[in-house]
Amino acid sequence: MADTQTLREWLLTETPTSRRHAKMSALYQGWLSFRSNTMAMVGLGILVALVFIAAAAPLIAPHDPYVQDLGNRLAPLGSEGHIFGTDSLGRDILSRLIYGARITLYIVALVALIAPIAGLLVGTVSGYVGGWTDTVLMRITDIFLAFPRLVLALAFVAALGAGIENAVLAISLTAWPPYARIARAETLTIRSSDYISAIKLQGAGALRIITKHIWPLCISSLIVRVTLDMAGIILAAAGLGFLGLGAQPPSPEWGAMISEGRRFILDHWWVATMPGLAIFTVSLAFNLLGDGLRDVLDPKAGE
Amino acid sequence: MSMLSVQNLNVWFGSNRDRVDAVIGASFDIPRGESFGLVGESGSGKSTILRAITGLAPDWSGTITVDGQQIGKVRPKTFFKTVQMVFQDPYASLHPRHSVDQVLGETLHLHGFKDIDSRVVKLLDDVGLGQKFRFRYPHQLSGGQRQRVAIARALAPEPALLLLDEPTSALDVSVQAEILNLLADLRADRDLTYLMVSHDLSVVGHMCDRLAVMKDGEIVEVLDVEALRAMNAAHPYSKQLLEASV
Amino acid sequence: MMTKLLDVENLWVKFPTRQGVFDAVRGVSFTLGRERLGIVGESGSGKSMTGRAILRLIRPPGIVEADQIALDGVDLMGKSEKDMRAVRGQRISMVMQDPKFSLNPVMTIGDQIMEAYRLHSKASKSEAYAKSLEMLEAVSIRNPERVMRAYPHEMSGGMGQRIMIAMMLIPNPEILIADEPTSALDVSVQRQVLDIMDRLVKERGMGLIFISHDLNLVADFCDRVLIMYAGRIVEVCDADKLHEAQHPYTRGLLNSLPRLDAPRKRLEVLQRDPEWSTAPSVSGRI
């Protein structure tokens, strides 16, 4: 029966034969849509390369990122053994960029886990329950939205000391409110639909409705928003690193590298520019990915 | 034996100055096994009565008695085993991310059934959909097929009273015939009681035994279907509706 | 011999999809004189696409092909987009289903009607105002000054549709295409709107293409009827002879409707013959 069918036909079928079949078919068709968007594929390619580079850092980096060579400070691009040159302490810039990718990914992953999930929880509960709960939760959201990110980070540093984790905490605390707003707006629209009324008529409680019916519909717009925000988050982390509030020396965090290279920008421009280009590329990649995902996941665009 | 009894029902939205009275002083009685129609134009309050009965419209006063039990502000779980509803728009009444199997499975689970798999298979057969529709998502189904799934969902808890909110008005003419036949068959097989809302007098004339005509929130007349077919209405508004639909 | 206002020959509308090319309209041909022509079909029959194709409202990737779409003898297929803009509204107009979606919600009704008028004539503001009032009175709106100042959401469905008709008829077109104009209206209002359309079409000697899914309504209102199925015309007949229709699809549609005056235990269910979609289109040309 399924022997003569190719895998592609099986995945594009109109009549799935099991739950797994149906889910895989849906995923495959989404992938086909995504694949037709060249720019989105470029973004995805860059990010896949980033993950690979970070994972294989010990294998691909030509030098140890912490080893100093004061005799070979500020070597220009294309120097022997140092394609991207060296920084003010003679450390190889390329190796530091490669190891710095790990830190960037770490920050991105942490914030991407904390902020949208917190926002989803607050937003959906607020939108579904309404009344006083809604008012209180939304005012709390407004309070967090009013905090300037860098000031909050400074406060954290003063209280808890500098470091990547505190930087991540500061960024997450100011990043979750927009997700709460999006989730709430979606919930308000969904809550009056017939399919929600129908499940209420089966005796479903608020918890089931929120987790099984509302969340699956909010998740698409949240995913898109997260990828589009990634650029901002990376830049925020870099900014904190630049101010010395994030990763501490000798950590090869890209923002801290820009800060260190700032003094030499006129004569030895590559020390600050190379990490800057890395940040630019990764931010752009996230933006392109987000655009592509939105075209695939946004139900209105699809129908 | 009365299946549904509504006495002096008032339903309103908003409060004080913004209050809109959608249903005013509605009263009717449906004996077991009967098919009762509610006709009226848009804004007459007919769909609102259904929502008040199921608890989807919170502000109401009057008495609603289902199968001998009077309904209060909160509906007990047993209520939903007795009363179920089929919605108007087949494109909006199924969750876009849930397959047919999930929709029916969840319903059966919520009502405490254990043999979910076999019941899903039987429900799909009962509404004329085969097994090949079981794992499809709503966007892979036509309007008529979606409405059949909605009917299957409503039948899952084995209710005695089915509320039908314009079940075929969003469907093509040929599909409407299939769904109306299905509903008639199900009613005969399971001895169901129907409360059907429609703006289409010929559909109500085909499906119902008696009907109430509504205008601006009030029931102006209750007729037998024979009187309807004979164009024998007493109230001037009913006469008007009859003339316009022929 | 009736003047031929519109002559459509072998119209095809195609949409490329991931699964191949989908033909929404397949080889449709018909002529329209100073008469009321009904196009009846279910969803997916291609009736709305036909109306839109005539006005070239179908954008790429949709493909429209025809031997000719001739308006008063001049083929529209050969016209540039700029020339088509002069045709749309001015010579062929379209009224759509739901005035909630076809009237601009942020402009007053007066502004919209005057805009429609001034787009196709060099009238001054005061001339346009006077003409708009005249048109609103022609569609039986009793307080036209008040309506001119109002916004669309303040109007009921029936009034909104009458305003659409006023707006579409102000430039005095030769042909009006009405795409399900009364489907979103209450039964009591439908008759009123249809009467107004009927009167205006007769007074101005226009041709009317009435697209609908409601077979009985079209039979009542139109002179000739084209029945479409799966993109093809399966039958053409005079409206008063509709109940003697030959084609099994038409008969099936007629028999599957519940009727107050002919009660039955079960409604006849249409048995679709695949031959209906493969057989060639019946020509509606006179």
Query: What is the average per-residue pLDDT within A210-231?
Result: 87
Cα C40 from Cα C38, distance rounded (Å)? 6
Regarding predicted confidence, which is higher, B153 or C265?
B153
Query: Is the predicted pLDDT of residue B153 greater than 60, yes or no?
Result: yes
CA distance A10 to chain B (A): 14
Identify the pLDDT of residue A11: 76
Q: Name the residue among C213, C263, C268 with its Cβ closest to that of B205.
A: C263
Identify the pLDDT of residue A181: 93
Query: What is the average per-residue pLDDT within C60-79?
Result: 89
In chain A, the number of structural domains is 1
C209 and C140 both lie in a single domain: yes
CB B211 within 8 A of CB B39: yes
Residues in chain A: 303
Cβ neighbours of C266 in B, within 8 Å: 181, 184
CA distance B191 to chain A (A): 21
C244 and C134 both lie in a single domain: no
Place of tokens 């495959």: A28
CA A57 to mean position of chain CA atoms? 20
Query: Is the predicted pLDDT of residue A4 greater than 70, yes or no?
Result: no
C122 and C194 both lie in a single domain: yes
Identify the pLDDT of residue B19: 84
Nearest to B93 by CA among B11, B25, B14, B164: B164
Query: Is the predicted pLDDT of residue B37 greater than 60, yes or no?
Result: yes
State the number of CA atoms in the 13 A half-sphere of C80 facing the CB. Answer: 2
Of C192, C213, C234, which residue is a domain's last?
C213
- The parent domain of residue B122 ranges over 2-245
What percent of chain A stands above pLDDT 90?
Answer: 28
- A241 belongs to a structural domain: yes
In chain B, the number of structural domains is 1
Query: Is the predicted pLDDT of residue A2 greater than 60, yes or no?
Result: no
Query: Is the predicted pLDDT of residue A302 greater than 50, yes or no?
Result: no
DSSP class of residue C262 equals S
Res. A298 pLDDT band, cuts 50 70 90: low
Query: What is the average per-residue pLDDT within C30-41?
Result: 91
Identify the pLDDT of residue C268: 84
Residues in chain B: 246
User: How is residue A27 written in tokens?
Assistant: 């995923």
Cβ neighbours of A15 in B, within 8 Å: 132-133, 136
What percent of chain A stands above pLDDT 70?
Answer: 96
Query: What is the average per-residue pLDDT within A282-286?
Result: 90
Element (H, E) at B186: helix B173-190
Evaluated on CA atoms A10, A12, A13, A17, the torsion sign reads positive
C61 upstream amide cis, omega within 30 of 0: yes
Pairing of strands C74-75, C207-212: unpaired
Neighbouring CB atoms inside 10 A of C145's CB total: 11
* ipTM of the complex, rounded to two decimals: 0.87
- Here the CATH number for the domain that contains residue B198 is 3.40.50.300
Residues in chain C: 286
Contact map slice: C 40-99 vs B, CB within 8 A? 42-43
Interface test with C, best of B148, B172, B209 (most C CBs within 10 A): B172
CA-based nearest residue in chain B for residue C256: B177
- C260 belongs to a structural domain: yes
Size of interface B-C (CB pairs under 8 A): 72
Res. A32 pLDDT band, cuts 50 70 90: confident
C205 and C280 both lie in a single domain: no
Cβ distance A198 to B133 less than 8 Å, yes or no, reads no
Query: What is the average per-residue pLDDT within A31-51?
Result: 89
Res. A301 pLDDT band, cuts 50 70 90: very low
Cβ distance B180 to C263 less than 8 Å, yes or no, reads no
CA C140 to mean position of chain CA atoms? 21
- C218 belongs to a structural domain: no
Query: What is the average per-residue pLDDT within B41-50?
Result: 87
The DSSP code sequence of C61-75 is TSEEE-SEEEETTEE
Identify the pLDDT of residue B147: 94
C82 and C114 both lie in a single domain: no
**Mean pLDDT taken over chain A:** 85
DSSP class of residue B237 equals H
Cβ distance B92 to A198 less than 8 Å, yes or no, reads no
**Mean pLDDT taken over chain C:** 87
Contact map slice: C 250-269 vs B, CB within 8 A? 252-253, 256-261, 263-269
Cβ neighbours of A16 in B, within 8 Å: 99, 135-136
Cβ neighbours of C43 in B, within 8 Å: 143, 172
Contact map slice: B 111-150 vs A, CB within 8 A? 111, 132-133, 135-137, 139-140, 150
Total H helices, total E strands in chain C: 11, 11
Cβ distance B137 to A26 less than 8 Å, yes or no, reads yes
Interface test with B, best of A13, A20, A33, A202 (most B CBs within 10 A): A202
CA A215 to mean position of chain CA atoms? 19
Res. C97 pLDDT band, cuts 50 70 90: confident
In chain C, the number of structural domains is 2
User: Long-range contacts made by residues A127-135, C-beta under 8 angstroms, separation at least 24?
Assistant: A127/A183, A127/A184, A127/A185, A127/A186, A127/A187, A127/A188, A127/A191, A128/A187, A128/A191, A128/A206, A128/A209, A128/A210, A128/A214, A129/A206, A134/A184
Cβ neighbours of A299 in B, within 8 Å: 96
Res. A303 pLDDT band, cuts 50 70 90: very low
- The parent domain of residue A247 ranges over 51-302
Query: What is the average per-residue pLDDT within C213-221?
Result: 87
Regarding predicted confidence, which is higher, C277 or C252?
C252
Identify the pLDDT of residue A6: 77
Cβ distance A203 to B54 less than 8 Å, yes or no, reads no
Identify the pLDDT of residue A22: 79
Cβ distance B174 to C266 less than 8 Å, yes or no, reads no
The CA R_g of chain B, rounded to the nearest whole Å, is: 18
Longest dimension (CA), chain B: 54
Q: pLDDT, tens digit, for every residue of C121-140?
A: 888 889 999 999 988 988 88
Neighbouring CB atoms inside 10 A of C64's CB total: 21
Q: pLDDT, tens digit, for every residue of B54-100?
A: 988 888 999 999 988 888 888 888 899 999 999 998 889 999 989 99
Residue A104: phi and psi, rounded to 5, are -60, -45
What percent of chain B stands above pLDDT 70?
Answer: 100
Residue A26: phi and psi, rounded to 5, are -65, -40
Identify the pLDDT of residue A3: 53
CA distance C85 to chain B (A): 34
B238 three-state secondary structure = helix
CA distance C224 to chain B (A): 20
Res. C169 pLDDT band, cuts 50 70 90: confident
Cβ neighbours of A19 in B, within 8 Å: 99, 101-102, 135
Q: Name the residue among B93, B96, B136 with its Cβ closest to that of A198.
A: B93
User: How is residue C91 written in tokens?
Assistant: 């010579």
C84 and C113 both lie in a single domain: no
- C254 belongs to a structural domain: yes
Cβ distance C188 to B246 less than 8 Å, yes or no, reads no
- Here the CATH number for the domain that contains residue C108 is 3.40.50.300
C95 and C111 both lie in a single domain: yes
Q: pLDDT, tens digit, for every residue of A106-150?
A: 888 888 889 999 999 999 999 999 999 999 999 999 998 888 877
Cβ neighbours of B85 in A, within 8 Å: 198, 201
With both helix axes pointing from N to C terminus, report the angle between B116-126 and B143-155 in degrees, rounded to the nearest 10: 130
Cβ distance B173 to C263 less than 8 Å, yes or no, reads no
C107 and C185 both lie in a single domain: yes
What ranges make up the beta strands (E) of C102-231?
Answer: 175-179, 207-212, 224-229
- The parent domain of residue C68 ranges over 1-88+223-286
Q: Does B89 touch chain A (CB under 8 A)?
A: yes
Element (H, E) at C145: helix C144-149
- Here the CATH number for the domain that contains residue A78 is 1.10.3720.10
